[in-house]
């Protein structure tokens, strides 16, 4: 199983490389200070391409498990549209945010569980959705097969063609003097699913430009957190010099000098 084996090895190598740079903190929830960006609006944005894609592939008023659903950015709008929603996530901060938002909206069709998928109880749902979670999953075969054994209709996976931080590869190499090991994206996931002999459909959802920054400090802080730099004076000065030489300025904004777009895609695997 070369594609499955290659996926798992890539995830191991990426995490090992990252952990060598991260300053360990006891009982630290990585998502604690990032929750706000994942809370859905009070009124569902049905123009959201991901939400529209889900609605076109879900049976009306069915049960939906949002696997790694965070604060419910996609599943709480589904609950507002009369779906019975269960959110599981390994981050307590995300689950607290989902609970708070569901209570604020007075939704009684949202359940949440603080758990990993591997530890979650066996339970069946009409649909399982999994958005931007798969990139870093180890033991990908069992992860996918458990989803299929827990679903009545289909599994819906949303992710980019490349991992979300892959555009920082050059900056990583300039800073650490080593090649960045990027996580797999949806192309690699297609290969895994094909190797498992599963029938699926691939959909194009949308395209996004790489992020731009209105000021240098915003750029600097974003990169610091994503490539795990200890923000002391020496490190900040080193990274600042790299960014000033690497980034381009377009219409008074700092932009990545890469001619590419993030391609958002969806995979639907029907229950056989």
User: Is the per-residue pLDDT at 29 higher than 60?
Assistant: no
Cα separations in angstroms, 154 against 62, 77, 257: 12, 19, 39
pLDDT score for 161: 96
User: Is the per-residue pLDDT at 272 higher than 80?
Assistant: no
Strands (E) across 184-246 are located at 200-209
What average pLDDT does this structure show over 7-20? 97
**Residue listed under structure tokens 């029938």:** 199
pLDDT score for 170: 97
pLDDT score for 250: 85
User: Is the per-residue pLDDT at 23 higher than 80?
Assistant: no
Buried b (16+ CB within 10 A) or exposed e, 189-210: bebbbebbebebeeeebeeeee
- Is residue 58 within 8 Å of residue 64, measured between CB atoms? yes
User: Is the per-residue pLDDT at 234 higher than 90?
Assistant: yes
Q: What is the mean pLDDT of the chain?
A: 92
Q: Is 48 exposed, middle or buried (0-12, 13-18, 19+ CB in 10 A)?
A: middle
**What's the predicted TM-score (pTM) here?**
0.91
Count of alpha carbons within 13 angstroms of residue 129, beta-carbon side: 29
**Residue listed under structure tokens 């689950």:** 95
Structural domains in the chain plus CATH codes: 2-164+180-209+260-270 (3.40.50.150)
Distance CA 97, CA 131 (A): 18
Question: Which positions ≥6 away from 119 have C-beta within 8 Å?
Answer: none
What average pLDDT does this structure show over 97-101? 92
pLDDT, tens digit, 9 for 90 and up, residues 139-169:
999 999 999 999 999 999 999 999 999 999 9
- Is residue 135 within 8 Å of residue 163, measured between CB atoms? yes
pLDDT score for 184: 98
Distance CA 46, CA 51 (A): 6
Considering only the C-alpha atoms of the chain, give the largest distance between any 2 of them, rounded to a whole number of Å: 57
């Amino acid at each position: 199983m070369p594609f499955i084996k290659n996926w798992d090895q890539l995830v191991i190598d990426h995490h090992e490389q990252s952990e060598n740079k991260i300053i360990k903190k006891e009982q630290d929830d990585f998502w604690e200070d990032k929750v706000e960006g994942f809370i859905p609006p009070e009124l569902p944005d049905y123009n959201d391409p991901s939400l529209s894609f889900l609605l076109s592939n879900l049976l009306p008023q069915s049960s939906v498990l949002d696997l790694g659903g965070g604060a419910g950015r996609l599943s709480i709008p589904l609950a507002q549209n009369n779906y019975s929603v269960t959110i599981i996530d390994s981050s307590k901060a995300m689950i607290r945010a989902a609970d708070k938002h569901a209570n604020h909206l007075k939704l009684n069709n949202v359940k949440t569980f603080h758990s990993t998928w591997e530890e979650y109880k066996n339970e069946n749902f009409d649909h399982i959705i999994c958005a931007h979670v798969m990139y870093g999953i180890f033991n990908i075969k069992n992860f996918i097969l458990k989803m299929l054994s827990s679903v009545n209709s289909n599994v819906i996976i949303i992710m980019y063609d490349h991992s979300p931080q892959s555009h920082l590869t050059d900056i990583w190499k300039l800073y650490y003097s080593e090649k960045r090991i990027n996580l797999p994206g949806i192309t690699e996931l297609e290969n895994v699913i094909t190797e498992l002999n599963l029938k699926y459909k691939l959909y194009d959802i949308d395209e996004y430009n790489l992020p731009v920054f209105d000021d240098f400090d915003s750029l600097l802080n974003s990169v610091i957190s994503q490539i795990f730099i200890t923000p002391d004076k020496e490190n900040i000065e080193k990274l600042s010099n790299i960014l000033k030489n690497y980034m381009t300025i377009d219409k008074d904004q700092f932009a990545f000098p890469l001619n590419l777009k993030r391609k958002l895609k969806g995979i639907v695997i029907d229950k056989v």
